[in-house]
Amino acid sequence: MIYVLDSSFCASCILPDEKTVRLEKIFLEVIADAEVYVPQIWWYEMANIFKNNVTRKRLNWDEVFKLNQCLSNYSFLTDNDFGGMYTEKLLETAKIYDLTAYDAAYLELALRRRATVGTLDDRLKMACLKADLAVL
């Protein structure tokens, strides 16, 4: 199977005070034997989530660097599309599905790969279902 995971899904699977047994189980099953794609923006979003957790004193920097290393060890396939033509596809996807460009990056990648999407974002979930994509 092919999956696209967004930062909301992944953060809820690895942050100590957010993860649930159900989500962690799904996450571990997905990464065990599937192709998992993330857009480039995912890495920046995860870094921002980590930084915000330090700011809120939910994590310290040592914990953040360990979590980041953990993510880096997974076999996520980072999509390398970028530039003007890619931005045009993002804008078109954002327009059609009324999404932010950030969320459109996940949907556009999932459409291109015909992937199941892992997200906790309600607006992105609805857009995926509208686009006939499966959602975890």
Taken in order 59, 76, 112, 130, the sign of the CA dihedral is: negative
**Segment 20-69, tens digit of pLDDT:** 777 778 877 877 878 999 999 999 999 999 999 999 999 999 999 999 99
Q: What domain range is 13 assigned to?
A: 2-130
CATH number of the domain at 30, please: 3.40.50.1010
- Please indicate, yes or no, if residue 84 is contained in any of the structural domains: yes
Which of 63-67, 72-76, 93-97 comes out lowest in average pLDDT? Answer: 72-76
Residue 135 in domain: no
Q: How many domains does the chain have?
A: 1
Comparing 126 with 12, which gets the higher pLDDT? 126
Tell me: pLDDT of 101 over 90.
yes
Whether 72 is in a domain gets the answer yes
Residue at 108 is within a domain: yes
DSSP string of 13-52, one letter each residue: HHSTTT--HHHHHHHHHHHHHSEEEE-HHHHHHHHHHHHH
Q: Is residue 44 part of a domain?
A: yes
* pLDDT at residue 17 in the model: 78
User: pLDDT, tens digit, for every residue of 103-114?
Assistant: 999 999 999 999
Output the pTM of the full model.
Answer: 0.89
Tokens 């906790």: give the residue: 120
Q: Say whether pLDDT at 73 is over 90.
A: no
DSSP type of residue 132: T
Q: Is residue 74 part of a domain?
A: yes
Mean pLDDT in residue range 82-99? 92
Q: In this structure, is residue 136 part of a structural domain?
A: no
Say if 111 falls within a structural domain. Answer: yes
